[in-house]
Amino acid sequence: GERMVLFGGPCAAESYDICMETGSQVKALCEKLDISYVFKSSFDKANRTSSGSYRGPSVEGGLDILRRVKKDLQVPIVTDVHESYQCAEAAEVADVLQIPAFLCRQTDLLKAAARTGKAVKIKKGQFMAPEDMKYAVDKVRGEGNNNVFLTERGASFGYHTLVVDMRSLPIMRQYTPVIFDVTHSVQQPGGKGGSSGGQREFAPFLARAAAAAGVDGFFIETHPNPEKALSDGPNMIPLHQMEDFLRMLKRYWELHTLHH
Amino acid sequence: GERMVLFGGPCAAESYDICMETGSQVKALCEKLDISYVFKSSFDKANRTSSGSYRGPSVEGGLDILRRVKKDLQVPIVTDVHESYQCAEAAEVADVLQIPAFLCRQTDLLKAAARTGKAVKIKKGQFMAPEDMKYAVDKVRGEGNNNVFLTERGASFGYHTLVVDMRSLPIMRQYTPVIFDVTHSVQQPGGKGGSSGGQREFAPFLARAAAAAGVDGFFIETHPNPEKALSDGPNMIPLHQMEDFLRMLKRYWELHTLHH
Amino acid sequence: GERMVLFGGPCAAESYDICMETGSQVKALCEKLDISYVFKSSFDKANRTSSGSYRGPSVEGGLDILRRVKKDLQVPIVTDVHESYQCAEAAEVADVLQIPAFLCRQTDLLKAAARTGKAVKIKKGQFMAPEDMKYAVDKVRGEGNNNVFLTERGASFGYHTLVVDMRSLPIMRQYTPVIFDVTHSVQQPGGKGGSSGGQREFAPFLARAAAAAGVDGFFIETHPNPEKALSDGPNMIPLHQMEDFLRMLKRYWELHTLHH
Amino acid sequence: GERMVLFGGPCAAESYDICMETGSQVKALCEKLDISYVFKSSFDKANRTSSGSYRGPSVEGGLDILRRVKKDLQVPIVTDVHESYQCAEAAEVADVLQIPAFLCRQTDLLKAAARTGKAVKIKKGQFMAPEDMKYAVDKVRGEGNNNVFLTERGASFGYHTLVVDMRSLPIMRQYTPVIFDVTHSVQQPGGKGGSSGGQREFAPFLARAAAAAGVDGFFIETHPNPEKALSDGPNMIPLHQMEDFLRMLKRYWELHTLHH
């Protein structure tokens, strides 16, 4: 809780080069701005809207990329797990296992992640009241793993859009530290037909608001060229804008930290 | 599409006796009322709100109960699968594999279920627009399995309640047959603290409305004594009320079938 | 409660001729089908999305058209009131004063309508829980007027669309008779930029569903040529389809009446 | 846009003494903190949930209180209007006429308010998409009055609660200045049976978030003793907490102003 945390990187581990280009720049920024950095990339995108969407590298390929990035960048790694059998394998590379929002109530997955001993980062389901996330936290703690935190990424609000209820931040921080997922909070689920759209233009407004309401860190997907990204392009922050973006967040985060 | 279909039984396969008591009575009713019957029970409840909630029998125990029920009742069986590794094992017993609503976008699970060759029944996520369910259907069909249908069970509407948008029925029937899940459409997620509540009193209203709007069948959890059921008691229809309930649905279903 | 009721006519009293063409045909249909008919048209559209939208005839002109229609068609009349001063004047012509959904909490308007002694039909606000409509009913009854009923027309569901929660029908019928507003339940508020769009294709599904859930009557806007209507064209049922539409509703309404 | 603005005071003009006690303290705070102050109180509460709720002083009595407060405190006044006939009379006292959220689409009321030449403050309806508020602004401007601004106070989110969508702030600021209504954004409509409840504990989180996202000012109802207030007690900020509250808001507002 003493330092602002950033989970960031390209949505999918498309290639070692993209990961390294992104990760090295973000790492340098975080060192300059006194932010704790965790490199994020998915080795597998298991819940795309349609089969035709990019699925990510193969599991082995994706984890192998993450392993090399971790070694070469010397940063901790967070990645998603979608079924309980993946947890042990992912935990050989990752320092933090992320539970996707749709899966936040899957007891087996939560417990398998917890039992790896790695930190477990649970995204709040779009269908969940924030106070019910305490049961997800308890499922992890029940396995003897206290290194668990939650992530806000928006709630269902009619069809094809999400709304961030800022009340969720203080509610969930009663249980454990909370990360604000800038990228997926502006997602428009299924809004582009067979894939999800995004409203990247609102990302700075929501991110600042969350910083002022109070969070422990941020999750931001970024890419050297979001228009060419194979997944979630419409939501990602372009890499060259990250310095300004992080400086902005840091100002609000520090003001909050100073007074609360 | 020519006969009304009922998926029904106790929420969880608590015991062979409960399953047989429920299944034999519902089977007899369905024969009397000219309804196609598929026995439903879960061998595992993987997404309970909290760890303290009843989880169901062990996987082996639950599937074994289902196997005996199927043999002794001579009815087809539907059951849930939560991770892709379960599909093959469940398919040895089940005729229909049901994909839970939270998991309707998990590509691996949909494909694993599809590849068993069994029918796949996908519940619409509480966070999904009905038109986006066509991508879930396509994921199953993409594996060469055309025996797929969808289920309506309500959409997120603020916190702790769901709303059934009847527009979803004609939208989803454009893609494949649609079942209306009476039981979970009146669920109040997390509404009882660490478990979900229910509004059983609204079940007949929503079920009739769905029958009139047009569906291919119904999913109803029933139990000889819902107050003592180990899971989803507040939503289940008491077994002794099932005859009246099914007669009512049949009237509206027939009126619809006659004219559309 | 013994006969199905229809409130129907063109959205706005555009002209005497349109009103008479519509009203005479609907009246004849209702006589054939044993339905109680109340002619509906607005003398003023006070809450259009934008100033540029058609506002209706002038108040005097509109009421004058309604007065002639009532005399020539010999049918009761329902029309909207938007401010309390309009109630007395509208009540000289109308048999039923309708309180628009946005205004269902305006105490002065409800009381002024109640004090005319005419029937008061209150539309449920898009922002209201159905159980809170009992306070609106009580405001009318508190003025000594027991001739009050409620109307369902959808609830806010994110932006630019509504959802009909069929639970609202039995909830509100605990207090007073309930009408289902077919036309506005498929409205897409602001969905066409400066005016509201509609999803007329879902009207029969929602109307049948409401009939099966149980209502006392229907509100349907109809027009000889909806594409040319000056207001709410995208939602109105074409006049030439009304016979089939009403026959369909009557079947479900009768089935419901027979058994409940 | 250069100074932070506060609209504040007791919800209803219960008495001259309460108004003066509240207004004089808030005025002094605003002078100390370099905030522009507009005294707010309603002379009439026309849209209470139930008839039994406190309605406010009589119109004449209420306006008379406001007139004395204005003269004695030497501050501008904002008050609500509910029907078009009230605008001229209220404008004799008020410097700003506020259009309640439920009424934000009532063209006559907007135009009557606009024609007084006073500033018009329109609250966004709980049922409105933020981009559709530009039509409400245009209705005022169409009368030649450019002194118009908007207010965010939450959107319908299921029943009995609201959600503040922070995206609405930058969307609406494209059209005109925007005020964040701290008090009503934490309202729980109808949540206490015949009256509305509130979640005052979330007020500082939402207010800070709005300040960071960017607004032109705040609307805060405050009272020396909210528990004894005759209206909206559960939402109001206790008067003795206002200094800390305003200091907090000012910090985030200044940080935003400095950088954007």
Could you tell me if D256 lies within 8 Å of chain A, comparing CB atoms?
Answer: yes
The predicted-structure confidence for A135-149, as pLDDT tens digits, reads as follows 999 999 999 999 999
Distance, in Å, from the CA atom of A41 to the CA atom of A70, rounded to the nearest integer, reads: 11
The predicted-structure confidence for B229-247, as pLDDT tens digits, reads as follows 877 778 889 999 999 999 9
The residue of B160, B164, B202 whose CB has the most chain D CBs within 10 angstroms, and thus the best one to mutate to test that interface, is B160
> Residue D114: pLDDT above 80?
yes
Burial D37-58 (b: 16+ CB within 10 A, else e): bbbbbbbbbbbbbbbebebbbe
pLDDT exceeding 70 applies to what percent of chain B? 95
The reported pLDDT for the residue numbered D235 is 86
**Residue-by-residue DSSP string for A185-209:** HTEETTTTSSS-EE-GGGHHHHHHH
The reported pLDDT for the residue numbered D240 is 96
The predicted-structure confidence for A220-246, as pLDDT tens digits, reads as follows 999 999 888 877 778 889 999 999 999
Measure CB to CB from residue A156 to each of B50, B83, B127 and give the nearest one: B127
ipTM of the complex: 0.95
The reported pLDDT for the residue numbered B59 is 67
Chain D residues in contact with C155 (beta carbon < 8 A): 156, 159
The reported pLDDT for the residue numbered C55 is 66
The two three-digit tokens of residue D116, written as one number: 């007084």
The predicted-structure confidence for D194-252, as pLDDT tens digits, reads as follows 778 888 999 999 999 999 999 999 999 999 998 888 777 788 899 999 999 999 999 99
Degrees, nearest 5: CA angle C79-C81-C85: 135
Q: Find out whether A86 and B83 touch, Cβ atoms under 8 Å.
A: no
For B175-191, what is the mean pLDDT?
A: 94
Q: What is the largest CA-CA distance in chain A?
A: 49
Q: For residue C67, what are the contacts with CB-CB under 8 A and spacing of at least 6?
A: C92, C93
Lowest mean pLDDT among B54-63, B161-170, B176-185: B54-63
Distance, in Å, from the CA atom of D125 to the CA atom of C189, rounded to the nearest integer, reads: 12
Per-residue confidence at B12, pLDDT binned at 50, 70, 90?
confident
Give the torsion sign (CA, D83, D84, D85, D91).
positive
Three-state secondary structure call for residue A77: strand
Q: Do A166 and D165 touch (CB under 8 A)?
A: no
Question: What is the chain A residue with the closest CA to D244?
Answer: A259
Q: Do C50 and D135 touch (CB under 8 A)?
A: yes
The reported pLDDT for the residue numbered C59 is 67
The residue of D43, D44, D51 whose CB has the most chain C CBs within 10 angstroms, and thus the best one to mutate to test that interface, is D51
Lowest mean pLDDT among A124-128, B11-15, C158-162: B11-15
Distance, in Å, from the CA atom of A254 to the CA atom of A246, rounded to the nearest integer, reads: 12
> Residue D1: pLDDT above 60?
no
Q: Do B166 and C170 touch (CB under 8 A)?
A: no
The predicted-structure confidence for B73-123, as pLDDT tens digits, reads as follows 999 999 999 999 999 999 999 999 999 999 999 999 999 999 999 999 999
Three-state secondary structure call for residue D223: strand
The predicted-structure confidence for B201-238, as pLDDT tens digits, reads as follows 999 999 999 999 999 999 999 999 988 887 777 888 99
> Residue C231: pLDDT above 90?
no
For C158-173, what is the mean pLDDT?
A: 97
How far away is chain C from the Cα of A156, in angstroms, using its nearest Cα? 8
> Residue B45: pLDDT above 90?
no
The two three-digit tokens of residue A138, written as one number: 């308890």
The predicted-structure confidence for C170-204, as pLDDT tens digits, reads as follows 999 999 999 999 999 999 998 767 777 888 999 99
Lowest mean pLDDT among B213-217, C113-117, D10-14, D17-21: D10-14
Among C214, D225, A250, A99, smallest CA distance to B106 is for A99
Per-residue confidence at A250, pLDDT binned at 50, 70, 90?
very high
Q: Find out whether A97 and A88 touch, Cβ atoms under 8 Å.
A: no
Among B28, B45, B49, smallest CA distance to B37 is for B28
The residue of D127, D160, D199 whose CB has the most chain B CBs within 10 angstroms, and thus the best one to mutate to test that interface, is D160
Three-state secondary structure call for residue D230: coil
Chain A residues in contact with D167 (beta carbon < 8 A): 163, 199, 202, 205-206
Could you tell me if C159 lies within 8 Å of chain A, comparing CB atoms?
Answer: yes
